[in-house]
Chain A
């Protein structure tokens, strides 16, 4: 029995070494996790979309962040990102900047107690300018902006007995970085009740991933330990576009539709991997590899449909957000399991918000709620080998509650603030994944 376990263990070590050598010769693609992803099947790479923050939604503008449903009522420069048709409602030369602070935590529990680390960051979330052209009828408003499109900060850690691979293992992953989108767009009135807009953007950013893990056999005697360090730096590029429209078919009812074309995200990664094997009698090995490669992620079409009801001092808004994540691809390959089931699935989320503008007072109060299900059908339970998907049995989705306020100062300056709390839980038979995040954003805008 012990011999069979030892044979199995050595077979796994030899397989890892062989895969690492192949990688060292730059054969095959590498992902942001470097060597580990080189041997991974496409199905096991689905988790990269979430790890890199590509499944998240950018929080643009403090007013939109608090209201959560802004595609039908966007009327400032943030419309360039949220629904470019809203630019047509901007009648004054207008600039805005948004600063944000986020704190998030992913807690993993393999049944031996939850583990997780807090990640916090302060950053420029958005800056943009809209310049309405002088027209004699309708509206024609070009705009330009930069915003934080993807937040890739992530900190994962766990320790467990991996019975499948017959080893005790500890894993830690620390990732930092973000990707910014540089956007150019235009809003125009097509008729007295219909506005349209288009925008296109280029992505630029960087991601640094540090993975550290170790394992030792569960069988007696556990005389061998393996330590692995991986550092991968990635430059991020890419592009995408959006088209939107807003329809005002009744003074109390506004409709907003926004279609985001597939977004291409390209990573150029360089990585270093060091593996040290230590055996009781001081006989061991050390292997250092460097690697370089490109990965292309295709994010699917996304569609937002919203309705806003301006009722005097009150604004009610609701929105649905649709994305067919089954269309996502890595290096041109869709992501299926061996039984041809998609690992990422279609998601349909919704959000709603309310804003109160008391008569003749230069303040606004608002609140919102959003439900955003996870596109992942499976969780990766073996982060070391990246080869064990477990189906998500139940998930709460990510629910966000938001509060916000705005003030008009000197008839020219608008200051908005928002606070958002997001929670979500997913469970498989072996792993529970809890997510919690707090975001505070502050927006300052000047209307010339």
Chain B
């Protein structure tokens, strides 16, 4: 029986990368790079439309922030705002 101790360093590295590639592939089910069912919204927001047209600001924040991750105290919380969301609006992206 092969144990992890018998695996060479190179094999372990390759297995780690393959495992994470597989997990990353499956994880796309959670992390969305494409808007479900509305392909026109992928990465490039049409002029005159914003996320807030369909989603509440709290929803958008919740989409992009882990559920139980406590926000850092101000003013450090400004560093956690996604760069593609304008400071004066939560609907700048998407």
A interface, CB within 8 angstroms of B: 75, 88-89, 91-93, 132-140, 186, 188-193, 195-198, 200, 239-243, 248-252, 254, 259, 261-264, 298, 301, 310, 312-313, 327, 357, 359-360, 362, 364, 408, 411, 414, 447-448
Q: Hey, which chain B residues are within 8 Å of A250, CB to CB?
A: 68
Is there a chain A Cβ closer than 8 Å to B89's Cβ? no
Q: Hey, which chain B residues are within 8 Å of A240, CB to CB?
A: 9, 13
A-B contact pairs, 27 of them (CB 8 A): A91-B64, A132-B83, A134-B84, A134-B93, A134-B94, A135-B64, A136-B41, A138-B27, A138-B30, A138-B31, A138-B32, A139-B31, A192-B66, A193-B66, A193-B68, A195-B66, A198-B17, A248-B67, A251-B68, A262-B9, A262-B12, A301-B4, A301-B12, A327-B5, A360-B73, A360-B74, A408-B79
Is there a chain A Cβ closer than 8 Å to B33's Cβ? yes
Contacting pair A92 B32 (CB below 8 A): no
User: Knowing A134-B93, A137-B32, A241-B17 touch, does A188 contact B66 (C-beta < 8 A)?
Assistant: no
Is there a chain A Cβ closer than 8 Å to B23's Cβ? yes
Q: Hey, which chain B residues are within 8 Å of A200, CB to CB?
A: 13, 16-17
User: Knowing A240-B9, A243-B19, A261-B12 touch, does A137 contact B30 (C-beta < 8 A)?
Assistant: yes
Chain A's closest residue to B85 (CB) is: A91
Contacting pair A186 B24 (CB below 8 A): yes
Contacting pair B69 A188 (CB below 8 A): no
Is there a chain A Cβ closer than 8 Å to B1's Cβ? no
Top 4 A-B residue pairs of the complex, sorted by shortest distance between their CB atoms: A138-B31, A192-B67, A262-B9, A198-B20
Q: How far is the CB of B3 from chain A (nearest CB, A)?
A: 11
Contacting pair A196 B70 (CB below 8 A): no
User: Which residue in B8, B16, B63 is a CB contact (below 8 Å) of A243?
Assistant: B16
Is there a chain A Cβ closer than 8 Å to B81's Cβ? yes
Chain A's closest residue to B14 (CB) is: A241
Q: How far is the CB of A436 from chain B (nearest CB, A)?
A: 33
Contacting pair B30 A192 (CB below 8 A): yes
Q: How far is the CB of A309 from chain B (nearest CB, A)?
A: 10
Contacting pair A252 B70 (CB below 8 A): yes
User: Knowing A135-B32, A135-B33, A189-B66 touch, does A196 contact B9 (C-beta < 8 A)?
Assistant: no
Contacting pair A408 B68 (CB below 8 A): no
Is there a chain A Cβ closer than 8 Å to B82's Cβ? yes
> Size band of the B side of the interface?
35 or more
Is there a chain A Cβ closer than 8 Å to B78's Cβ? yes
Measured in the bound complex, the distance between the Cα atoms of B84 and A91 in whole Å is 9
Q: How far is the CB of A91 from chain B (nearest CB, A)?
A: 4
Q: Hey, which chain A residues are within 8 Å of B27, CB to CB?
A: 138, 188-190, 196
Contacting pair B63 A137 (CB below 8 A): yes
Measured in the bound complex, the distance between the Cα atoms of B65 and A112 in whole Å is 62
Q: Hey, which chain A residues are within 8 Å of B73, CB to CB?
A: 312-313, 357, 359-360
User: Which residue in A136, A254, A262, A408 is a CB contact (below 8 Å) of B34?
Assistant: A136
Q: Hey, which chain A residues are within 8 Å of B8, CB to CB?
A: 262
User: Knowing A132-B82, A243-B20, A310-B70 touch, does A189 contact B13 (C-beta < 8 A)?
Assistant: no
Contacting pair B68 A89 (CB below 8 A): no
Chain B's closest residue to A360 (CB) is: B74
Interface string of B49-93 (1 = CB under 8 A from A): 000000000000001101111101111101111111000000001
Measured in the bound complex, the distance between the Cα atoms of B27 and A362 in whole Å is 35
Q: Hey, which chain A residues are within 8 Å of B78, CB to CB?
A: 411
Q: Hey, which chain A residues are within 8 Å of B63, CB to CB?
A: 136-138
Measured in the bound complex, the distance between the Cα atoms of B32 and A196 in whole Å is 15
Contacting pair B23 A190 (CB below 8 A): yes
Measured in the bound complex, the distance between the Cα atoms of B13 and A239 in whole Å is 9
User: Knowing A140-B33, A243-B19 touch, does A254 contact B79 (C-beta < 8 A)?
Assistant: no
Q: Hey, which chain A residues are within 8 Å of B80, CB to CB?
A: 75, 89, 91-92
Measured in the bound complex, the distance between the Cα atoms of B71 and A89 in whole Å is 11
User: Knowing A188-B27, A251-B68, A357-B72 touch, does A198 contact B16 (C-beta < 8 A)?
Assistant: yes
Q: How far is the CB of A415 from chain B (nearest CB, A)?
A: 13
Contacting pair B75 A408 (CB below 8 A): yes
Q: How far is the CB of B59 from chain A (nearest CB, A)?
A: 10
Measured in the bound complex, the distance between the Cα atoms of B68 and A252 in whole Å is 8
User: Knowing A132-B83, A262-B9 touch, does A248 contact B68 (C-beta < 8 A)?
Assistant: yes
User: Which residue in A91, A193, A195 is a CB contact (below 8 Å) of B83?
Assistant: A91
Q: Hey, which chain A residues are within 8 Å of B24, CB to CB?
A: 186, 188, 196, 198
Contacting pair B64 A193 (CB below 8 A): no
Q: How far is the CB of B78 from chain A (nearest CB, A)?
A: 5
User: Knowing A189-B66, A193-B68 touch, does A92 contact B75 (C-beta < 8 A)?
Assistant: no
Chain B's closest residue to A76 (CB) is: B79
